[in-house]
């Protein structure tokens, strides 16, 4: 994966497979302290301690269609390459929390990529799941909460093509306002 947004998409898809109903995606950029943090929290099934101990092993996966699970190991490698780290906390029946930290200015930190396209892909394919996306940069913040949108739209599904177009524009404009390049 060449962009951090693809790692986020992969982890969020893991959350969906774990029956999450709410997936929180948080990105925090601090140019003064030179930090870049990505946090993905879900309310899915979580994992027992035996499984949790294996999630960073590339030769471990719960999927039956392949023998490797490269998502988290690749994300961990991306963080370590940029003088950062990755941690996974999980509890059976309570969900999973993935935290990746990077040196923001590190020459080997992968670019973020398009968060608007990542969030749109998640919503389009999973309109029954709620997403809370928050992006902070140097004290400014942008938030998208599908629960609020659902209330406003009432019976109109979030994956309606016009709604998806609005959401994409809303994200792009919101990130531009807080000076996040896509």
List, as one string, the DSSP characters of 29-76.
EETTTTEEEEEEEE-S----HHHHTTTT-TT--S-SS-S---HHHHHH
The domain ranges of the chain are 4-177
Class for the domain spanning 4-177: alpha beta
| Digit-coded pLDDT (tens) for 20-54 | 999 999 999 999 999 999 999 999 999 887 777 77
Copy the structure tokens of residue 177.
């306002």
| Sheet with strand 130-137: strands edge to edge | 85-91, 95-103, 35-42, 22-30, 130-137, 140-145
Query: Residue 39's pLDDT is what?
Result: 98
Task: Kindly report the pTM of this predicted structure.
Answer: 0.92
CB 175 within 8 A of CB 116: yes
Burial class (CB in 10 A: 0-12, 13-18, 19+), 32: exposed
Contact 171, 131 (CB under 8 A): no
- pLDDT (tens digit, 9 = 90+) per residue, 125-148? 999 999 999 999 999 999 999 999
Joined together, the tokens standing for residue 122 give 């998640």
Query: Strands 130-137, 22-30: parallel, antiparallel or unpaired by DSSP?
Result: parallel
**51 contacts 109 by C-beta, under 8 angstroms:** no
The yes-or-no verdict on residue 67 having pLDDT over 50 is no
Please compute the mean of the pLDDT values over residues 43-66 and round it to a whole number: 71
List beta partners, residue 28: 37, 136
């Amino acid at each position: 994966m060449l962009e951090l947004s693809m790692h986020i998409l992969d982890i969020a898809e893991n959350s969906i497979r774990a029956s999450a109903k709410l997936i929180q995606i948080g990105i925090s950029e601090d140019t003064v302290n030179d930090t870049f943090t990505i946090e993905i929290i879900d309310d899915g099934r979580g994992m027992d301690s035996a499984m949790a101990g294996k999630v960073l092993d590339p030769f471990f996966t719960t999927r039956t269609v392949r023998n490797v699970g490269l998502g988290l190991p690749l994300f961990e490698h991306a963080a370590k390459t940029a003088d950062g780290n990755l941690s996974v906390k999980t509890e059976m029946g309570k969900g999973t929390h993935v935290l990746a930290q990077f040196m923001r200015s590190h020459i080997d930190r992968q670019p973020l990529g398009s968060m608007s396209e990542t969030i749109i892909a998640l919503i389009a394919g999973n309109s029954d799941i709620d997403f809370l996306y928050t992006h902070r940069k140097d004290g400014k913040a942008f938030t998208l909460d599908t629960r609020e949108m659902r209330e406003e739209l009432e019976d109109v599904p979030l994956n309606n093509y016009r709604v998806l177009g609005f959401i994409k524009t809303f994200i792009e404009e919101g990130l531009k306002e807080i000076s996040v390049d896509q």
